[in-house]
Chains A and B, each alone.
Chain A
Amino acid sequence: MNEEEEKYDLKIILLGSSKVGKTTLVNRLTQGTFENPEQTTGATFSKKKYQGELQEYTFSIWDTAGEERFDSLSSFYCRNSGCELILYDITDRNSFTNLDRFFDKLQYTNEDSFVILIGTKLDLIEETSKLRKVTLEEGKKKANDKNSYFFEISSKTGHNIQELWETVGDLFEKNSQKNEIKHRQDNNHFQINSFTNNQKKKNCC
Chain B
Amino acid sequence: MTNEYWFEEKDVFLEISSNTSTKKFLPGVLRLSTDSRDQTVLSWVQLIGRTQQEETNENNKTNQKLESDWCVVDNPNGLQKSNILNIPESIPEKKSKNNGNSHENIANKDINSHNKELNHIPDYLPRSDPYIADRSFSLQVSRFEMIKIFENRSEGYSINFCTENKEEFHLFFLLGEPNTLLEAILKDNPQLEKSHKDSNDPNSPKIYSKISTEKPLKTKSTLQNIWSSVKKYSKKQVEVLQQQFKATNEEEEFQKQIISQDESRLENLNLEIRNIKTIGTRGNMAVNEEIWKGFLDENGRVKNPTQLQKIIFYNGIDPKMRQLIWKFLLGYFPMESTEEEREEIQKTKKRLYQQVKTQWENIIPEQEKNFRKYRQRKTQIEKDVYRTDRVIGIFSEDNSPSMMMMRDILLTYSFYNFDLGFVQGMADLLTPIISVMQNEEDSFWCFVGLMKRVETYFLKNQPGLREDMLILRSLLKLLDPEIYNIFVSDRRSSEFIFCFRWLLVCFKREFAFNEIPLLWEVVWTDFLSDKFHLFIAVAILQVNHDYFIAKYQDFDSILDFLNNLSGRLDLVSLLNNAELLVQNYTQKIPLVFEKAKNKLITLENVSSPNIDSDKNRIDNLPQKSHDKSNNEKVLKRSTSQPERNSNKIVGISKLYHV
**Do A and B interact with each other, yes or no?**
yes
Report A's interface with B, CB cutoff 8 A. Answer: 2, 4-5, 8, 18-19, 36-39, 41-45, 60, 65-67, 69-70, 72-73, 76, 79, 94, 192, 195-196, 199-200, 203-205
* A41, A195, A203: the one within 8 Å of B500 (CB): A41
- B176 in contact (CB, < 8 A): no
Complex CA distance for A105 and B497, rounded to whole angstroms: 18
Complex CA distance for A44 and B561, rounded to whole angstroms: 10
Complex CA distance for A196 and B560, rounded to whole angstroms: 30
Contact assessment for A79 and B553 in the assembled complex, using a CB-CB cutoff below 8 Å:
no
Q: Chain B contacts of A192 at CB under 8 A? A: 236, 239-240
Instruction: Mark B553-591 against chain A: 1 for CB-CB distance below 8 A, else 0.
Output: 110110110010000000000000000000000000000
Contact assessment for A70 and B462 in the assembled complex, using a CB-CB cutoff below 8 Å:
yes
Q: Chain A contacts of B390 at CB under 8 A? A: 36, 38
Q: Chain A contacts of B424 at CB under 8 A? A: 18, 39, 41, 65-67, 69-70
Q: Chain A contacts of B461 at CB under 8 A? A: 69, 72
- Known pairs A5-B551, A76-B495; A42 contacts B244 (CB<8 A): no
- Known pairs A60-B556, A72-B461, A205-B554; A199 contacts B505 (CB<8 A): no
- Known pairs A192-B236, A196-B240; A69 contacts B376 (CB<8 A): no
**By CB atoms of chain B within 10 A, which of A70, A73, A195, A199 has the most?**
A70
Contact assessment for A38 and B387 in the assembled complex, using a CB-CB cutoff below 8 Å:
yes
3 smallest CB-CB distances across A and B, nearest first, come from A67-B424, A42-B501, A19-B383
Q: Chain B contacts of A203 at CB under 8 A? A: 244, 247-248, 251
Complex CA distance for A200 and B244, rounded to whole angstroms: 7
Instruction: Mark B457-498 against chain A: 1 for CB-CB distance below 8 A, else 0.
Output: 011111000000000000000000000000000111001010
* B458, B500, B560: the one within 8 Å of A69 (CB): B458
- Known pairs A39-B424, A45-B559, A196-B243; A4 contacts B387 (CB<8 A): no
- B504 in contact (CB, < 8 A): yes
Q: Chain B contacts of A73 at CB under 8 A? A: 497, 500
Q: Chain A contacts of B236 at CB under 8 A? A: 192
Complex CA distance for A204 and B379, rounded to whole angstroms: 43
Contact assessment for B559 and A200 in the assembled complex, using a CB-CB cutoff below 8 Å:
no
Complex CA distance for A18 and B377, rounded to whole angstroms: 12
Contact assessment for B501 and A41 in the assembled complex, using a CB-CB cutoff below 8 Å:
yes
* A4, A39, A76, A204: the one within 8 Å of B384 (CB): A39
Contact assessment for B428 and A41 in the assembled complex, using a CB-CB cutoff below 8 Å:
yes
Q: With A41-B425, A65-B424, A94-B376 given, can you name 5 additional A-B contacts, CB distance below 8 Å?
A: A44-B560, A45-B563, A72-B462, A94-B379, A200-B244
Complex CA distance for A149 and B500, rounded to whole angstroms: 32
Q: Chain B contacts of A44 at CB under 8 A? A: 559-560, 563
Contact assessment for A45 and B551 in the assembled complex, using a CB-CB cutoff below 8 Å:
no
Contact assessment for B551 and A42 in the assembled complex, using a CB-CB cutoff below 8 Å:
no
- B173 in contact (CB, < 8 A): no
Contact assessment for A45 and B556 in the assembled complex, using a CB-CB cutoff below 8 Å:
yes
Q: Chain A contacts of B551 at CB under 8 A? A: 2, 4-5
Complex CA distance for A48 and B492, rounded to whole angstroms: 23
Q: Chain B contacts of A70 at CB under 8 A? A: 424, 462
Interface size range on B against A: 35 or more
Shortest CB distance A79–B (Å): 7
- B509 in contact (CB, < 8 A): yes
- B374 in contact (CB, < 8 A): no
- B423 in contact (CB, < 8 A): yes
Contact assessment for A200 and B247 in the assembled complex, using a CB-CB cutoff below 8 Å:
yes
Complex CA distance for A106 and B621, rounded to whole angstroms: 52
Contact assessment for B387 and A39 in the assembled complex, using a CB-CB cutoff below 8 Å:
yes
Shortest CB distance B248–A (Å): 7
B 41-85 contacts with A by CB, 8 A: none
B504 to chain A: closest residue by CB: A41
Contact assessment for A45 and B500 in the assembled complex, using a CB-CB cutoff below 8 Å:
no
* A2, A66, A76: the one within 8 Å of B497 (CB): A76
Complex CA distance for A4 and B556, rounded to whole angstroms: 12
- Known pairs A41-B425, A42-B500; A69 contacts B459 (CB<8 A): yes
Q: Chain B contacts of A67 at CB under 8 A? A: 423-425
Show 9 residue pairs from A and B whose CB-CB distance is below 8 angstroms, ordered by the A residue: A37-B387, A38-B390, A39-B387, A44-B560, A69-B459, A69-B460, A72-B462, A73-B500, A204-B490
Contact assessment for B388 and A39 in the assembled complex, using a CB-CB cutoff below 8 Å:
yes
Complex CA distance for A200 and B458, rounded to whole angstroms: 37
- B380 in contact (CB, < 8 A): yes
- B292 in contact (CB, < 8 A): no
- B386 in contact (CB, < 8 A): yes
B380 to chain A: closest residue by CB: A18
Complex CA distance for A76 and B556, rounded to whole angstroms: 12
* A79, A196, A200: the one within 8 Å of B492 (CB): A79
A202 to chain B: closest residue by CB: B244
Contact assessment for B384 and A42 in the assembled complex, using a CB-CB cutoff below 8 Å:
no
Contact assessment for A36 and B386 in the assembled complex, using a CB-CB cutoff below 8 Å:
yes
Contact assessment for A42 and B387 in the assembled complex, using a CB-CB cutoff below 8 Å:
no
Shortest CB distance B540–A (Å): 15
Shortest CB distance A181–B (Å): 24
- Known pairs A37-B387, A94-B376, A203-B247; A45 contacts B560 (CB<8 A): yes
Contact assessment for B383 and A18 in the assembled complex, using a CB-CB cutoff below 8 Å:
yes
Instruction: Mark B240-268 against chain A: 1 for CB-CB distance below 8 A, else 0.
Output: 10011001100100000000000000000
Complex CA distance for A72 and B465, rounded to whole angstroms: 13
- Known pairs A69-B423, A73-B500, A76-B497; A195 contacts B240 (CB<8 A): yes
Complex CA distance for A2 and B547, rounded to whole angstroms: 13
* A18, A41, A79, A205: the one within 8 Å of B505 (CB): A41
Shortest CB distance B552–A (Å): 10
Shortest CB distance B516–A (Å): 14
Complex CA distance for A2 and B380, rounded to whole angstroms: 43
B505 to chain A: closest residue by CB: A41
Shortest CB distance A11–B (Å): 8
Complex CA distance for A7 and B383, rounded to whole angstroms: 36
